[in-house]
Chain A
Amino acid sequence: MNSRFKTIKNLFIDSVEINNFVELDVTKRLYERLEESLDKPLKMVLLFGKPGTGKSMMLNKLVINLKNKREIHYFEAPILTEKEFLKSIYEAISSKSVPANLRVNFDGLLKYVQSLKGKREIVFLLDECQLYSEVLMEKIRLLSDTRVIKFVITLHKTEDEDLIAKEHFKTRIWDIIELENANLDELHLYIQKKLMGEGFIEVSNMFTQKVVKLIHKYTNGNFRETNKFLYTLFEIYEFYEINEPHRVSLDKMSKKIFEMSALKLGYLK
């Protein structure tokens, strides 16, 4: 038996696919700011925030929207070895493959990039930069100094933020864009848009201000945590709809199912 909640729960699978992007005022504003910053004569743009605030999603959207307007390359997963990193940069710029037994010389790469000055503008999006070593970040800084390559880097927000504070980055960062967790109203809108966008209006009406307030209390407005919570919630709804349909009503949120989700994820003990 098919349950509608199976479809609903899949809406909240945590992924960076562009279909999952929900436009809120704040995310729209930040995205526009990110796009504008690429038009400025800059070297680096820093996108930072706590995990689950939508940094990777923002980069993905940038690639999709700009791939026909700019030369833009997206490294989703961090490349941790210098050899592989330089190879990837070179292959992306030159569209040529580097044989396995050869490695890219950094000075050579730098000269090659400098030779493109005035001819090309290349944008590299580097996700999860907190995993790159300091040596690699230095090389990124030097490449950005050529003014041929622009880097958009994402970082997890940490307590000390010492990487941002370091002098050799301070002067190079043009724009710093911070992504934050959603406030109560934004979270409410996020959930409503997700559900109503797929036509689940009745289910959307179950999320009253009171219910959303509780969700916000548990997840602090973090999108990833919220997705996880709602996925769990609808997974349980799916089970009951198939096995005990008398327990499922769309008039209002089931307190029992809500609490079961919170218990499963450790928000209640």
Chain B
Amino acid sequence: MNSIKALEKKWYQYKLNKNITILKIVLAVMVVILSIYMVTLLYWDKEDEKGSDIIVKNSTVHKEQNISKDVNVSSALQQTIPLENLNASTMVIPVVAGEIIKVEDKNKNINNTPKNTHTINNQKNITNIKPKNQSTNLSSSERDEIERDIPKSNVKINMSVSEDNFLQNMEEKFKESGNAKDAVVIARTHYENKDYAKASQWALKANTMDKNLDESWTVFAKSKAKMGQEKDAVKILEQYGARGRDGEAQALIEKVKTKTLE
């Protein structure tokens, strides 16, 4: 219980850290957006100021060229801006009579276009970049690899030949070894093959050699039952049960009586 509670605590800590990380990311993104916005705003403001300067200068001196720097504005206004040249795009700055405003000679600054306009023609036309031509067909080596990986079709094998060999092999082995366990294997195999007579013979042989082999009892009894000799089967199982295997014996006896043996 304590370990789960400790794990729960760890999970709360993990959630907290995760939320803090998300918050940090959100804040960072907001800062970036704000910075971009501020920079853009400042840049636009500067552009506006330059633009208004140019317009004012244009409106005051467009008719006059080579004006001297210090000009008496009131006289300049009266003399240089005809009314028909004033329009909505020009700004007329109200000036106090007699105030001197420095005026730029328009001829000097006529080519003050921003630098970036020069790059328009030099910009790479990205639509000219062609995507890499990729083939979607498999190469011959890729095809070979796939064919190699395809599993071979199922081959049906007649197992009965090897089963006969198996019994022969086991009988050979038993002849040499004289081991009761080998006899049990043979008995069991005959039982599986529904040859109950041979199964009971071999089981009895094994049981005679070694009464401690549980399967020698059970295969013997089951074979008897399958041959219709249920009473004998029950007697065998009762003897088996008396050897301290009462549980298993009773279960099998029940199956023999109800004819539900596998």
Cβ A243 vs Cβ B1 within 8 A:
yes
Report chain A residues within 8 Å CB of B163: 69
Q: Which residue of B lies closest to A242 (CB)?
A: B1
Cβ B166 vs Cβ A69 within 8 A:
yes
Interface residues of B in 158-216 (CB under 8 A from A): 159, 162-163, 165-166, 169-170, 172-173, 176-177, 179, 181-182, 185, 188-189, 192
Report chain A residues within 8 Å CB of B165: 121
Pick the contact of A69: B7, B8, B162, B172 (CB < 8 A): B162
Whole-angstrom CA separation of A259 from B12 in the bound complex: 10
Pick the contact of B7: A95, A96, A264 (CB < 8 A): A264
Q: Which residue of B lies closest to A71 (CB)?
A: B169
Pick the contact of B14: A68, A95, A263 (CB < 8 A): A263
User: Does A36 count as interface, using CB distance less than 8 angstroms?
Assistant: yes
User: Does A268 count as interface, using CB distance less than 8 angstroms?
Assistant: yes
Mark each residue of chain A from 149 to 193: 1 if its CB lies under 8 Å from any CB of chain B, else 0.
000000000000000000000000000000000000000000000
Knowing A68-B192, A120-B169, say if A95 contacts B181 (CB, 8 Å): yes
For the complex of A and B, the 5 pairs showing the least CB-CB separation, nearest first, are A95-B179, A95-B177, A120-B169, A239-B4, A260-B11
Write the residues of chain B forming the contact surface with A, with a CB cutoff of 8 angstroms.
1, 4, 7-8, 10-11, 14, 151-152, 154-155, 157, 159, 162-163, 165-166, 169-170, 172-173, 176-177, 179, 181-182, 185, 188-189, 192
Whole-angstrom CA separation of A39 from B156 in the bound complex: 11
Report chain A residues within 8 Å CB of B172: 119-120
Mark each residue of chain A from 28 to 63: 1 if its CB lies under 8 Å from any CB of chain B, else 0.
010011001001000000000000000000000000
Whole-angstrom CA separation of A260 from B5 in the bound complex: 10
User: Does A2 count as interface, using CB distance less than 8 angstroms?
Assistant: no
Whole-angstrom CA separation of A243 from B8 in the bound complex: 14
Give the tally of cross-chain contacts (CB within 8 A).
59
A sample of 25 inter-chain contacts (CB < 8 A) reads A32-B154, A33-B152, A36-B154, A36-B155, A39-B157, A69-B159, A69-B162, A69-B163, A69-B166, A70-B166, A71-B166, A71-B170, A95-B177, A95-B179, A119-B169, A119-B172, A121-B162, A239-B1, A256-B11, A259-B14, A263-B7, A263-B10, A263-B14, A268-B14, A269-B14
Q: Which residue of B lies closest to A235 (CB)?
A: B4
Write the residues of chain A forming the contact surface with B, with a CB cutoff of 8 angstroms.
29, 32-33, 36, 39, 68-71, 94-96, 119-121, 236, 239, 243, 256, 259-260, 263-264, 268-269
Cβ A70 vs Cβ B162 within 8 A:
yes
Whole-angstrom CA separation of A36 from B154 in the bound complex: 9
Cβ A68 vs Cβ B11 within 8 A:
no
Whole-angstrom CA separation of A243 from B182 in the bound complex: 54
Q: In the complex, what's the smallest C-beta–C-beta distance from B260 to chain A, in angstroms?
A: 21
Cβ A36 vs Cβ B157 within 8 A:
yes
Cβ A121 vs Cβ B173 within 8 A:
no
Report chain B residues within 8 Å CB of A120: 169, 172-173
Whole-angstrom CA separation of A95 from B154 in the bound complex: 35
Q: In the complex, what's the smallest C-beta–C-beta distance from B55 to chain A, in angstroms?
A: 61
Q: In the complex, what's the smallest C-beta–C-beta distance from B95 to chain A, in angstroms?
A: 71
Report chain A residues within 8 Å CB of B11: 256, 259-260, 263
Q: In the complex, what's the smallest C-beta–C-beta distance from A23 to chain B, in angstroms?
A: 15
Whole-angstrom CA separation of A83 from B172 in the bound complex: 27
Q: In the complex, what's the smallest C-beta–C-beta distance from B170 to chain A, in angstroms?
A: 7
Whole-angstrom CA separation of A243 from B4 in the bound complex: 11
Cβ A33 vs Cβ B159 within 8 A:
no
Report chain A residues within 8 Å CB of B152: 33
Q: Which residue of B lies closest to A93 (CB)?
A: B173
Q: In the complex, what's the smallest C-beta–C-beta distance from B165 to chain A, in angstroms?
A: 7
Report chain A residues within 8 Å CB of B173: 71, 95, 120
Task: Add 8 more A-B contacts to A36-B155, A71-B169, A121-B169 (CB < 8 A).
Answer: A36-B157, A68-B192, A69-B166, A71-B170, A95-B181, A121-B165, A239-B1, A260-B7
Cβ B188 vs Cβ A68 within 8 A:
yes
Whole-angstrom CA separation of A238 from B169 in the bound complex: 52
Report chain B residues within 8 Å CB of A256: 11
Cβ B189 vs Cβ A68 within 8 A:
yes
Report chain B residues within 8 Å CB of A32: 154
Cβ B169 vs Cβ A33 within 8 A:
no
Report chain A residues within 8 Å CB of B166: 69-71
Whole-angstrom CA separation of A206 from B129 in the bound complex: 50
Q: In the complex, what's the smallest C-beta–C-beta distance from A94 to chain B, in angstroms?
A: 6
Cβ A29 vs Cβ B7 within 8 A:
no
Report chain A residues within 8 Å CB of B185: 68
Q: Which residue of B lies closest to A67 (CB)?
A: B185
